[in-house]
Amino acid sequence: MNRKLHVALLFGGNSSEHDVSKRSARNIYDAMDKNKYRVSLFLMTRDMIILDDHDSREVLLNDVPEAKYAKKAKDNLDRHNPFANIANLGKCKDIDVFFPMIHGNLGEDGTIQGLFRLLQIPYVGSGILPSAMAFDKDVTKKILTYYGIRNTKYILLTPDNYKKWSFDALSKKLGNLIFLKPANQGSSVGIHQVHNEDEYEKGLKDAFRYDYKILAEQAIKGPEEYEISILGNEHPKASQVGAIRVPKHDKFYTYENKFVNASGVKFEIPAKMSEKLAKEITKMGLATYKALQLKGMARIDFLVSKDGTPYVGEANTLPGFTNISLYPQLWKAQGLSYSKLIDKLIKLAFAEFKHRSKLHHDFIPLKQK
């Protein structure tokens, strides 16, 4: 009988998407074929302490309040050991592959990928640099622009230059409706739609709570939101395009819409659109994936203007796997179940690890498979 692959599923983290990450992890765990995989669970608390499998399992599977174990871990942390917050990973032997599902910073910005790289163990998803590039909206847009991939016009605001930009000055460059977005945040956190100086000042103050780089972004006319799922390494495949129909009274697809109350939001899979537009979005999605050097998976978000022009919004390297997340839903609509999708992602992780091992002659895997 073949040995089961030992998968370490990481979730939680210190970002605003902590609870979303837990819901994604639960769906992934439930969908994993336990005849193929032995799964260890690692919850990263908001204090950035990784709990052991027992405590993580109690929180994720048995609905024990996280605060109980988070407080215990914090109180018992060895302050003299700089590696104490990740020490529980070392208690879990023979990990074959890491499956990170930490949304937002630490999980999608290249941080946790750097740890996996140092440990010389395969992991699901993109590497250090691609993750960091995709997570930073400013860097993403610079790369897209370099490759001629359409995205919205913007002006970068920082603590050093924001006082030079009033709403009137920005509106002359970007129009009378502007979106403020933290460069390194996800799930619509810290985003504000502003129409005047008062809204601009309040929105900017809030946005700076989440990042020191803020995008003042041009709004497009009559936008509709679309998403496409990408799967693969060197030869990625795209799903059909999905549409997000937000209630007219909502300003945009908010965190509330995405993860708390989606009752007013309608998802179209596949999206009702012309074949020409679907092909253009697919082409742009794959081009974005390759330009950012992404691997494993990503969800590429689009805005389409009233005249039918698509713009790339952002790339999500560890997209949600909640019950209302479009990444797995789009693949499911094409006959790829959650379970089979997870199988593919794990296979892609091993393939990328093998590929990178060949490229680095000084890189000797600690574990011989």
Q: For the chain, which residues make up each domain, given as ranges?
A: 5-124, 153-218, 221-348
Q: What pLDDT, on the 0 to 100 scale, is given for residue 123?
A: 98
5-124: CATH class: alpha beta
What pTM, to 2 d.p., does this model score?
0.91
Catalytic residues: 17, 187, 325
- Residue 316 marked in a binding site: yes
Residue 210 has pLDDT above 70, yes or no: yes
- Would the CATH topology of 153-218 be identical to that of 221-348? no
pLDDT band at 1 (very low <50, low <70, confident <90, very high): low
Residue 105 assigned as binding residue: no
Mean pLDDT throughout 45-68?
96
Position 186 scores a pLDDT of 65
Which range has the top average pLDDT, 2-6, 55-59, 363-367? 55-59
| Residue 133 contacts residue 140 (beta carbons within 8 Å) | yes
301 is an annotated ligand-binding site residue: yes
pLDDT digit string, tens, across residues 102-143: 999 999 999 999 999 999 999 999 999 999 999 999 999 999
Residue 357: what pLDDT?
A: 82
* Amino acid 257: pLDDT: 44
Q: What is the pLDDT at residue 261?
A: 46
pLDDT in tens, 326-345: 999 999 999 999 999 999 99
CA 222 vs. chain centroid, Å, equals 26
Q: Which CATH class is domain 221-348?
A: alpha beta
For the structural domain made of 153-218, what CATH number should be given? 3.30.1490.20
What is the pLDDT, as a whole number, of residue 117?
94
- Choice between 265 and 126, residue whose per-residue pLDDT is larger: 126
Tens-place pLDDT, residues 86-104: 999 988 889 999 999 999 9
